[in-house]
Amino acid sequence: MRSAARKLGRAGVHFGHGTDNAIDDAAALLWHVMKLPADAPPSVYERRLTAAQQQAFAALVQRRIEAREPAVYLTGETYFAGIPLRTDRRALIPRSPLAELIETRFHPWVEPARVTRILDLGTGSGCIAIACARFFPRAQVDAVDISPEALQLAAENLRRLRLGRRVHPVLSDHFAALEGRRYDIIVSNPPYVGAREMKSLPPEYGHEPKLALAAGRDGLASVRVILREAALHLNPGGILVVEVGNTEAAVRRRYPRVPFVWLEFERGGGGVFLLTREQLESHVR
């Protein structure tokens, strides 16, 4: 594992798709080859790889370096909010800081017992919708995406986790297919990468769907629609939570009078704002 990590480091691969350093990246590949559970005890470090496992591991490390394919696409699996998920090139690799907020049930912004309807806008692999369903066991969750391929992967994850009765994949361009539906929480990790930043992304991002990343010239194409239409789909007292990553600066500049609350995360990451329905309504007016 150490020798693979050194190779990855020397090759200058980019980390940030579910792992953020060379050792974790190498471990993800090795764990996959050895079919180890994520919570394997330290005694596994004593194990020896069979010749076939050594070969398979070396091949994965090589592919990681040559094709710059993120480790999690090579293994086809990851964890989000502690939940195992399938991942492949049909959808973005789950890595949103929103996992932490969902695990704490959006504390202190909602009363969890009152949350019965949640919307995940731009669901991709389904990670956010699935985590919401797990942490709000009484809620129904709509999982919206414009990409039929992403929704297929989300549906596969739902089936494996037996959440099909509470999480509903919906093919829709933003809110277009949601007329009349209202929610207690709208949560979204929409595309938010501007045109210039798209050109400078490390090659690993080229394996992810462009639709999941690119958001027009200024990165605000999706955020603009969400800010305009979300209030119509929120119940009184409902909240909107949106990840915009480092497009935060552009959002602040473009909407200087909107009273965004920028959330902080213990496990890192940022660029996530929260607004109440009432704040959104006054923005729209």
Ligand X SMILES: C[S@@+](CC[C@H](N)C(=O)[O-])C[C@H]1O[C@@H](n2cnc3c(N)ncnc32)[C@H](O)[C@@H]1O
Interface residues with ligand X (CB under 6 A) are: 91-92, 94, 96, 122-125, 127-128, 144-147, 150, 173-174, 189-191, 211-212, 222
**Contact assessment for residue 77 and residue 87, using Cβ atoms and an 8 Å cutoff:** yes
| Burial environment of residue 92 by CB neighbours within 10 A (0 to 12, 13 to 18, 19 or more) | buried
d(CA 24, CA 18): 9
CB-nearer residue toward ligand X: 36 or 225: 225
Query: Please, what is the minimum distance in Å from the beta carbon of residue 152 to ligand X?
Result: 12
Query: Please, what is the minimum distance in Å from the beta carbon of residue 47 to ligand X?
Result: 33
CB-nearer residue toward ligand X: 26 or 97: 97
Query: Please, what is the minimum distance in Å from the beta carbon of residue 234 to ligand X?
Result: 17
CB-nearer residue toward ligand X: 61 or 174: 174
DSSP-derived 3-state class of residue 7? helix
CB-nearer residue toward ligand X: 5 or 118: 118
d(CA 60, CA 69): 10
Q: Which residues of 115-130 are buried (b: 16+ CB within 10 A; e: fewer)?
A: bebbbbbbbbbbbbbb
Query: Please, what is the minimum distance in Å from the beta carbon of residue 179 to ligand X?
Result: 15
Cis (ω within 30 of 0) for the bond into 97? no
CA atoms within 13 A on the CB side of 33: 23
CB-nearer residue toward ligand X: 147 or 247: 147
CA atoms within 13 A on the CB side of 187: 30
Token readout for 183 is 């929610």
CB-nearer residue toward ligand X: 30 or 215: 215
